[in-house]
């Protein structure tokens, strides 16, 4: 079955809790985006740009429409020229899973504001693991199709794929859930970054990778980072933080909260209901980094198609690139070089 397609490329104005200033700016932005062909339907049947995307760029530029348009145009043209959306939909499933194992992973739950909760034990990311990934996949057909044609390293493409998953699957799914967000659309995520057991030397080794990741997130996916909690920090980290924070843009640094061991559980519980907070961080959720998302019952009811049975009849969370639209889960990517295209009805 083909994925759900919108009736046309008209943007959906679901963000109905806007201030008058935002309404005016969004109207102008929408007119510009549609008039300049940025709202074409993609292969997955969804418009390349929606109101949520436009609002993120507006808010990242303090509602200055001209600045938002300038930044938006550069990013969207770059995305088209480098086939970012297409790459996600055609990415090798195992390649996606291997890369996902090095970065932040969705717990399957949300914080008290309805933002999806991700966890990232930073010690899982090392230069050696990244180099092994690059060595394994840089010459595979799904990577070569885009990376060699557009001169993009395979790990950069893969990093974009993780953000595409958040924007095309996780956030649309979270926006279907009842909760405290009322009528405001979810457009960002909350992250727990665990630096337990990491010394300054480890940070120094991965400095350029961290800078690159934050740079991509800030430039290409503005306003998608909500709360960022750093846990497991030794007392010496406070001094080192004075140096480390200079590696990143002030806008990103301003969202970071460093928690001492004594404050971790109390602070996290303020932002995240204990039933949605992993046990490792003081909650009661049975989930560890490396596990598939642990969806609660309302989410399972909305996206039951995300679970499939393996050869032994055991239910498993679908691996690889997926999207959520039209109330259904859509599987994408390639398996053994063959396209995987399926709409899984609830």
For the domain that residue 206 is a member of, what is the CATH number? 3.40.525.10
Q: Kindly state whether residue 303 falls inside one of the protein's structural domains.
A: no
Where does a domain end: 82, 106, 121? 82
With respect to residue 233, please indicate whether it lies within any of the assigned structural domains: yes
* Residues 247 and 169 placed together within one structural domain of the fold: yes
Q: Quick one: average pLDDT of 158-162?
A: 93
pTM: 0.89
Its sign, for the CA torsion 217, 218, 221, 225, is positive
Tell me the HSE value of 216 on the side-chain side, using a 13 A CA sphere. Answer: 18
Same domain for 209 and 137: yes
- Asked if 150 and 212 sit in the same domain, the reply is yes
Establish if 314 belongs to a structural domain.
Answer: no
User: Do 108 and 219 belong together in one domain?
Assistant: yes
Q: Is residue 143 part of a domain?
A: yes
Q: Is residue 305 part of a domain?
A: no
Query: In this predicted structure, what is the pLDDT of residue 304?
Result: 87
pLDDT of 6 above 60: no
| One domain for residues 38 and 74 | yes
Last residue of a domain, one of 294, 310, 327: 294
Are 74 and 125 part of one and the same domain?
no
Residue 299 domain-assigned (yes or no): no
Same structural domain, 26 and 155: no
Q: Indicate the range of 28-32, 41-45, 139-143, 159-163 predicted with least confidence.
A: 139-143
pLDDT band at 309 (very low <50, low <70, confident <90, very high): confident
Q: Above 70 in pLDDT, residue 148?
A: no
Of 40, 63, 82, which residue sits at a domain end?
82
Kindly state whether residues 210 and 279 are assigned to the same domain: yes
Q: Are residues 51 and 99 in the same domain?
A: no
CATH number, domain containing residue 66: 1.10.8.20
74 and 102 co-located in one domain: no
Residues 71 and 97 in one domain: no
Q: How far apart, in whole angstroms, are the C-alpha atoms of residue 46 and residue 159?
A: 21
pLDDT, the chain, mean: 86
Region 37-63 average pLDDT: 92
- Total tally of structural domains belonging to the chain: 2
- Asked if residue 279 is part of any domain, the answer here is yes
Is residue 183 scored above 60 in pLDDT?
A: no
Owning domain of residue 54: 20-82
**157 pLDDT more than 80:** yes
pLDDT at 180: 57
pLDDT of 142: 54
**Residues 54 and 175 reside in one and the same domain:** no
Asked whether residue 67 is assigned to any structural domain, the reply reads yes
């Amino acid at each position: 079955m083909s994925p759900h397609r919108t009736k046309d490329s008209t943007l959906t104005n679901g963000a109905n809790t806007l201030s008058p200033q935002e309404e005016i700016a969004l109207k102008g932005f929408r007119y510009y985006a549609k008039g300049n062909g940025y709202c074409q339907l993609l292969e997955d049947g969804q418009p390349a740009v929606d109101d949520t995307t436009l609002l993120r760029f507006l808010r990242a530029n303090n509602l200055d429409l001209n600045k938002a348009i300038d930044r938006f145009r550069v990013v969207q043209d770059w995305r088209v020229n480098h086939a970012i959306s297409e790459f996600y939909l055609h990415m090798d499933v195992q390649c996606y899973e291997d890369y996902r194992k090095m970065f932040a992973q969705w717990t399957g739950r949300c914080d008290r504001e309805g933002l999806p909760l991700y966890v990232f034990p930073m010690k899982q990311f090392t230069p050696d693991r990244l180099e092994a990934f690059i060595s394994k996949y840089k010459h595979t057909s799904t990577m070569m199709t885009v990376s060699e044609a557009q001169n993009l390293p395979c790990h950069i493409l893969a990093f974009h794929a993780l953000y595409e998953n958040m924007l095309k699957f996780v956030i649309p799914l979270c926006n279907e859930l009842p909760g405290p967000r009322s009528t405001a659309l979810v457009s960002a995520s909350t992250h727990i970054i665990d630096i337990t057991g990491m010394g300054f030397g480890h940070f120094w080794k991965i400095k350029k990778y961290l800078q690159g990741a934050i740079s991509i997130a800030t430039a290409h996916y503005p306003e998608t980072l909500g709360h960022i909690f750093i846990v497991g920090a030794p007392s010496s980290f406070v001094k080192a933080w004075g140096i480390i924070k200079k590696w990143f843009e002030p806008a990103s640094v301003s969202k970071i909260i460093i928690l001492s061991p004594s404050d971790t559980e109390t602070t996290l519980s303020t932002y995240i209901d204990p039933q949605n907070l992993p046990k490792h961080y003081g909650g009661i959720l049975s989930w560890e980094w490396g596990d598939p998302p642990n969806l609660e019952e309302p989410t399972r009811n909305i996206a039951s198609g995300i679970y499939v049975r393996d050869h032994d009849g055991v239910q498993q969370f679908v691996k690889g690139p997926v999207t959520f639209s039209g109330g259904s889960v859509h599987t994408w990517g390639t398996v053994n070089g063959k396209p995987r295209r399926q709409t899984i009805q609830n």
